Structure formats: C-alpha cells, structure tokens
A and B are shown apart, each in its own frame.
Chain A
Amino acid sequence: MRLFEYESRQIVQKAGIPVSAHGFATTAAEARRIAEEIGAPTVIKSQVLTGGRMKAGGVKFADTPAEAEAHAETILALEIGSHKPRGVLVDSRVAVRQEYYAGVTWDGTRKRPVLIFSDMGGIDIEEIAETHPDHVARAHFSTLRPFSDFEAKQVIAAVGVSGRALTRLTPILARLARLFRERDMVLAEINPLAELDDGTFVAVDAHMDMENEARPRQQALLRELGVGEEETRQAREPTPFELAGEEVDAMDHRGVAGNVTEFDGDLGLVIGAGGGSLTLFDAVRAHGGRPANYCEIGGNPSVAKACGLAKLVLQKPGVDKIAVMMSIVSNTRVDIVARGVIKACVELGYDPAEKITIFRIPGAWEEEGFKILERYGVPYADRSVSLDEAARRAVAA
C-alpha cells in the first residue's frame, strides 16, 4: 500500500530522522499560512500516488506566501495521470551542499531486506546504478538479529564517504533500516537525503510503501496517519463496479468470490482460481474476446457469494453473456458454483442456458454440478476440454 509523501515524511520523522520544515495543505489558503510560518522560499508539491510530478507541473517554486498560495491553487486543480491530488505539501527550500540516496527494500531472491546507499541522490536509484555503479552500495541484513549501526556505516563507507558526513549519516540510515522492519514496509526511501551548508542532514523527500498483508498489525500507525481502511491505494482508484465486487466477497467468510477488476469488453467472466484466472483471461483475449472484467473464485465460496458475483457481472452495462470457467478445483465444490451462477441468472429473469456460454469447472463434486447444469441446459465441459478450448468456445458463442 503506497503512502503519500506527506505521510511518508511523518513516518520518517517519527523514526527520529530530521526532515525539512514543511506542512500539508488541502486548500490554497492553508498553503499560504504554512508558507508564512516557514518564512522562507518554499516548494509546492502535489500529493499524488504517481511518478512524474515534476514533468506534469505538479511541483512549483514560490518566493513569497502569495506565490505559494497561487501555485497551490493551480496544483490542487491539476490531475496527474488521472490521479486527483490529495493536497499539496508546502516544503521549505533548503540550501543543499550535496544530495544522497538512502533506501531499503526486499530482495526476493536472497529473501532478505537490502539497504541501498548512494552519494548521488536526487535522481532515480536505478539510473544511478546503471550509469554510476561505483556510487551505489548495497548490504543485506538479518531479519532475526536487530539492525546494528555498523551495517549502515559499512554501506556508507563503501561508496567512499568518510569524515563527519559518515558519522552523521550512520544513525539516519540505521533508523531507516529499523523503521522499514518495524513499520512493515516493502520500500522505504529517502531521496534526496540532503546535506545542508551547515553540515547537517535532512530528508527532503520520502517514499514509503507498506505491505498490504501487514495492515492489520500496523493499524495504530495508519490511524495516526488518517489512512482509512477502505483505501486500497492500488495503482488506480477502484471503480464502483470493483467496490461492489469487494462487497460481494465480504458477504461471508467462506472462500473467495471477488478480486474484481473492471475492463471495457462485453464478455462477463466468472473465473478462478488465482492461476486459473490469469490463464483464462489471457486465453479469452488470445481468441479475440473482450473481457468485461477479471475476477477470482476460490477456497469454496458459499452459493450466495458465487451468486452475488455472477449477478454483479451479469448486470454490468454492456455485458451480453458470461463464461464460468476455472482450472481443476480441489477444495472448491463444482456443484456450489453451478448452483450460484444458475441462481443469479434465474433471479435476474434470465434463462441460464442463454446467458452462460460455457461452464468449465472440473474437479471436486463435478458429477453433482454437471447434473444441475444439465437440468438447466447450460453447456458445460469437463477436464477433457482445455482451458484454452473453453475460452475459445466462450468467445465464439
């Protein structure tokens, strides 16, 4: 779950890392007040969960509070990559001697967190790694042993930083590494980490991404930051259709019938499970089909949930027919899904035989399921019909 810059800065600050004087504003008047308090030239930064703010005009420099107010007005109204800004961050413009980069992320191959440091901050770390590999140092660290300061010191020294900068940077990187673990981050980045003219360091920008699965145990922090439980913080905001899908899945705790993503096609998909859905979605498109949605069924959902999901898809504007398909199921019962989708058709006043192009779910309780489907005249297939062939039939129907 991605966090806004103004939230990330609070997390950094709480960890004891100095940040440049700043404030968060949702109106231009507030922005002006913050600029007045800072009492120095400011930068007005759009608070959006997407990159490329600078290029899109979401970052502007102001010399006076009046200018800050005017820029805030413009930026608050500016959509960046279809994202509306949450607000603006009014940041003081600090006199920077040098910019550094500090970040922590997971290395999925080594299965360890990795601390990354560079004395060339302010630009993308991937870019520095490619163009100036000798200016980037990395160190994996243990998840079982508490992070020790020397591990930060080694990474800083590895790019040739010594003297007072080394001793001042060490606790900052150590705190960043610790907050990464304590706050269940998957990315914790300070870029730039600025060395000021007086030799002190402040975080001028911060980027944090928290593990979705850890949200339950980070509730206290999220409440403090004002992050609502309904905020998904995905790459794009959920559509009403997708939110309705989440409601279906939340009906009861039995299995999954949800994870809905909206597309603009005409073929409704009731598909599963995780890998099966990915495979089937590709297959439908490979056969020239235009899916109206992506979704996942799994873990043996109730009839009510399967029915709710099928209804949601059937009622989506532009959807003509639905295809009900899964890879071979082991713990999800075929007959329960069959009953759910037939119930959805009947309750909406449709003939299941007309609306369901194909039902291809083989596996547990398939005989019972196929019997029900036969009774309603729904075309079905067992495992002798491949996922690809089922998708082809769904598109051709």
Chain B
Amino acid sequence: MSILIDADTTFIVQGITGREAVNLTRECLDYGAGARIVGGVTPGRLGREVHGVPVFDTVVQAVAHHGAPIDGAVVTVPPAFTKDAVFEAIVNAIRLVVIVTERIPRADVAEMVELADAHGARIIGPNCLGIIVPGVIKMGGIGGPARNARQAYSPGPVGVISRSGGMTTEMSSTLTASGLGQSTAVSIGGDAIIGSTYAELMPLFEADEATRAIVIYTEPGGRMEAQLAEYGPRLPVVAFMAGRFMDEMPGMSFGHAGTIVEGKEDTATEKIARLQEAGITIAERIEDIPDLVRERIGGGVAA
C-alpha cells in the first residue's frame, strides 16, 4: 500500500495556468495509472483547460463541478498569494495540501498549519516537490516527467522522507538500482517551519503494511531530527546527513531556508549523535544506503 495518497486520490492544482504548474499537471496525468486531477484553479481563467483539466476561478466551483469532496490540492501560486490559496483549499474541506511554492514567510506557514490543524487537514511543504507512490500516482513535480520518474522510482518496501526534493529522487534512484523499491516517497520541504515533519509522518508509515524501513535525508538547522529521535521510530530508519561543512560556519544559510546553524543543537554533528542514540543508522554515503537498509530489515528482500 502507501501513505497519504493512492490510485483513487482526487486533487486539484491551484495556480494551474502557471508555466511550472502546466508541466506538473502533464507529469502527474502521465504517471502510473494517471492522477485524478479533477480541476485547476486560477482566478479569472474560468472555462479554460490545461491538458484536458477544467480550470475554475475558485475552489468551491471545482468542488461543485466534481460533485463530491476533493481529497487534495497542489498549490503552486506565488508566495504573496499562497496563504490565501491554502486557506481556500482547507475551508473547502480539502484534507491534503501540497505546497510547492518557495520563499513563504514562516508566519504564513504557521497560520496555514494552525488552520489545517483546526480542520483536520494535513500540509506537506512548503518548498517541496510532493509525494509519489511508485507505479501508482504522483502528486507534485517529484521525479519530473513521467518517464524520468519511472526510471528513478520503483514499488517496494522503503518509505522515503526528505528535506530536499532533488535528493528524494537521488536516494530513491539508488534504492531502485539496487533492487529496493519504495512504498511512498515524500518531499517534505526545506523551510524552517513545514506542514509535516519526519516524526509526524512516521505513524503513517508504521501503520502501512507495505513499508518495512524508512530512509531519510537530513540537514543542519532546526529541531526536526531531534524530534524524530525523541519520537523513537518503531521501523528501522537509515539517515543521510548532508551539509556537515556548515558546522564550521554558524549563522550562514546554505541550500534551503531552514538550513542554518544557530545553536549547538542545530549542527550536523549533534544531530547525528541524537539520531544514533535513537537507534537510527547513519549512512556516510548515498550508495551505502541500500546495504544498510538490507541489514536492518534482514532477509526476504530480493537483491
């Protein structure tokens, strides 16, 4: 099975007429069984179509057209309008919101998360590439065009969670090449405040019968790794830590907005120690990940 989405998931794309969103829509429609994109929203563009997907002015029009609740939304609108778009999705009973947009002030993210919590909705991102269930569905730009996504991702027992969109694909491709597929891969975003952290996704993977191990990509900055260590995952976890050089450069931000060493807890060194104490295996190189996963889950997974 999978977490968050499956073949039946319906979703809309907010900001669907933007250049990146048009590509993303095509990619999702082409991948796996073909995503059920039931509408797109761009204010003032009612009546248009993007790759056959009807465009509406508002989310409520999209819901009315579909005639039933819509499961998810991919939000690709500019940063100044993102909060409004996410509020619109949540208030219209959409339960899963994937925010692709970068450079959103964390105050806005906190407001979106607070509203989502109040409505029982979940946010993935911002500044993320979305979710993929290999061979079945992808929601967001993750893995790129369908043929590229097919090359990198394959179905299997490993759940992937990553603060970097590109590294989600790099790690999954490495797993795929060694014969280890993925149950679901989630690009959670690189910002200081995000909708869903490792620890918050872990219970979903633990409840998923298909998932037997988790691979995570981590970075300096923030408390997300410490939170995972405190949570104490019940599945075997293999972690890769990038940006170790940043320990020598406090106060400087590299790679993602959330990646900055502000205190001792933020450093790669400290995070590695915390993760190891919690029984999480640290991979020194990406290519070491598949063997470490096999060691942790034992036999039964063909090479």
Q: For A363, list chain B residues within 8 Å (CB).
A: 144, 148, 169
Residue of A nearest to B190 (CB): A274
Interface residues on B, range: 35 or more
B174:A327 contact, CB within 8 angstroms: no
Q: For B258, list chain A residues within 8 Å (CB).
A: 108
Q: For B105, list chain A residues within 8 Å (CB).
A: 184, 211, 213-214, 217
Alpha-carbon separation in the docked complex, A296 to B242 (Å): 14
A274:B256 contact, CB within 8 angstroms: yes
Q: Which of B164, B170, B177, B222 has the most CB of A within 10 A?
A: B170
Q: Which of B104, B144, B163, B259 has the most CB of A within 10 A?
A: B144
B173:A383 contact, CB within 8 angstroms: yes
A261:B243 contact, CB within 8 angstroms: no
Q: For B193, list chain A residues within 8 Å (CB).
A: 106, 108, 111
Interface check B278, CB cutoff 8 A: no
Residue of A nearest to B172 (CB): A328
B98-135 vs A, Cβ < 8 Å mask (1 yes, 0 no): 00000111110111011100100000000001000000
Chain A: interface residue total (CB-CB under 8 A) = 53
B111:A328 contact, CB within 8 angstroms: no
Alpha-carbon separation in the docked complex, A144 to B114 (Å): 7
Interface check B223, CB cutoff 8 A: yes
Q: Which of A236, A279, A298 has the most CB of B within 10 A?
A: A279
A326:B243 contact, CB within 8 angstroms: no
Alpha-carbon separation in the docked complex, A336 to B108 (Å): 35
Q: For A283, list chain B residues within 8 Å (CB).
A: 285
Q: For B142, list chain A residues within 8 Å (CB).
A: 330
Q: For B174, list chain A residues within 8 Å (CB).
A: 386
Alpha-carbon separation in the docked complex, A106 to B106 (Å): 9
B106:A186 contact, CB within 8 angstroms: yes
Alpha-carbon separation in the docked complex, A207 to B115 (Å): 30
B148:A282 contact, CB within 8 angstroms: no
B287:A108 contact, CB within 8 angstroms: no
A315-342 vs B, Cβ < 8 Å mask (1 yes, 0 no): 0000000000011111100000000000
Shortest CB distance B161–A (Å): 13
B111:A216 contact, CB within 8 angstroms: no
Interface check A273, CB cutoff 8 A: yes
A380-391 vs B, Cβ < 8 Å mask (1 yes, 0 no): 000110111100
B170:A387 contact, CB within 8 angstroms: yes
Shortest CB distance A230–B (Å): 18
Alpha-carbon separation in the docked complex, A277 to B244 (Å): 12
Interface check B157, CB cutoff 8 A: no
Interface check A370, CB cutoff 8 A: no
A111:B169 contact, CB within 8 angstroms: no
Alpha-carbon separation in the docked complex, A32 to B37 (Å): 69
Q: List 28 A-B contacts (CB under 8 A).
A: A109-B197, A111-B193, A142-B114, A143-B110, A143-B111, A213-B104, A234-B252, A235-B250, A236-B252, A261-B254, A272-B166, A273-B166, A274-B166, A274-B190, A278-B254, A279-B167, A279-B240, A279-B286, A283-B285, A327-B164, A328-B173, A330-B145, A330-B149, A331-B144, A364-B145, A386-B285, A387-B170, A388-B287
Which 7 residue pairs across A and B have the least CB separation, nearest first?
A275-B164, A330-B144, A235-B251, A275-B167, A278-B243, A278-B242, A327-B170
